[in-house]
A and B are shown apart, each in its own frame.
Chain A
Amino acid sequence: MCRLGAVKLTGPLERVLRVLVADPAASHYGYDLMRATRLPSGTLYPMLARLQQEGIVAARWEEQRPDAGGRPPRKYYRLTAEGVRVASRELADASAPSGGRRYAAVRPAYGTQGGAQ
């Protein structure tokens, strides 16, 4: 079900997910996310493509608005319903005090009961 499980939660990915999860209903365009995450475009867009492929993030085109002053339409990204669930769980895992990060899913960290299995 959770295909993000195949992926290590790396620093940049964590930052993107944090920004997206902070307001799951909000849509972000590329530069907006770049500013919020302080990631360069060469890191952000591949990640968005990956997340889109995994069904975590959905994209849609903005409609051309007459009041935009001739600005070209942008593409907006937001979390899908599954994305919200997966991302918030991943982030909770990542910030867990056991420091287990992804390993917690593989084997219980020292000092825990291993109830997750």
Chain B
Amino acid sequence: VSGTQPVQRIAEQLIRVSCRRLPADERAEHYKEWSAEVPAILCDTSVRLPMLRAVRALRYSAGISRTTRYLCRTGSGVRRPSTWRDGAIRVRPGTALRLVIGVAIWLVVVLAVVSLVRAFPQPPVWPLVVGLTLAAAFDASCLVDIARAQQVRFLPKWAWALICLTQVPGGGIVYICVGRHRRGRPARPRSAQLP
């Protein structure tokens, strides 16, 4: 049993971190509920190997992260009416438009770079340095924005960060256009217009 103690602590810590997303008044109760299941999983004798039980407990607490993400997206508790279908109707056209705009801006940037290189077969160093610095600064600001946003759209935060890092100006532009919530808040206002 002593071997399960660190696992239990790690699992509880994961749940605690996930619960930080929730509003303060709901946090304690959810944490109490979910952390109470961890010992049950670790002592579940129907899974014979303690190792597998530990894996299961960790998978359980990782799933709690998904749960709290869901809860803070829809708003937990009874106050809010059902909004299950919003997602299907809400963002489709806006998002396509934003994606097109993002790709267009990115193409303009690429074209500008290409034409610059064409115009100067031996390009002076300073525009290059300035351009690279600007691109790096823009990307850094995108990464900071991703890190600070409560929530991003469509992809998990790490995927957006990866896109920003791999496509240096393009990823950031697409993130700003598609993945970013206005003012970093969940986009909920339009659901009020739905019947």
Residues on A facing B (Cβ under 8 Å): 3, 6-7, 29-31, 34-35, 40-46, 49-50, 52-54, 71-75
Closest residue of chain A to B64 (Cβ to Cβ) is: A41
Residues of B within 8 A of A (CB): 32-37, 39-41, 44, 46, 59-67, 70-71, 74, 76-78, 80, 82, 84-85
> In the docked arrangement, what's the CA distance between A45 and B15, Å?
13
Q: How many pairs of residues, A versus B, come closer than 8 Å at their CB atoms?
A: 77
CB distance from A73 to the nearest CB of B (A): 7
Q: Closest A-chain residue to B66, C-beta based?
A: A42
In contact, B39 and A46 (Cβ under 8 angstroms): no
Question: Complex formed: what's the CA distance from A9 to B63 in Å?
Answer: 22
Interface of A, secondary structure class, is helix
Contact (Cβ within 8 A) B60 A34: yes
Give CA–CA (A54, B77) in the complex, Å.
10
Residue on A nearest B79 in the bound complex, by CB: A53
Question: Residue A42 contacts which of B40, B46, B63 (CB distance < 8 angstroms)?
Answer: B63
Contact of B80 among A30, A31, A40, A53 (CB under 8 A): A53
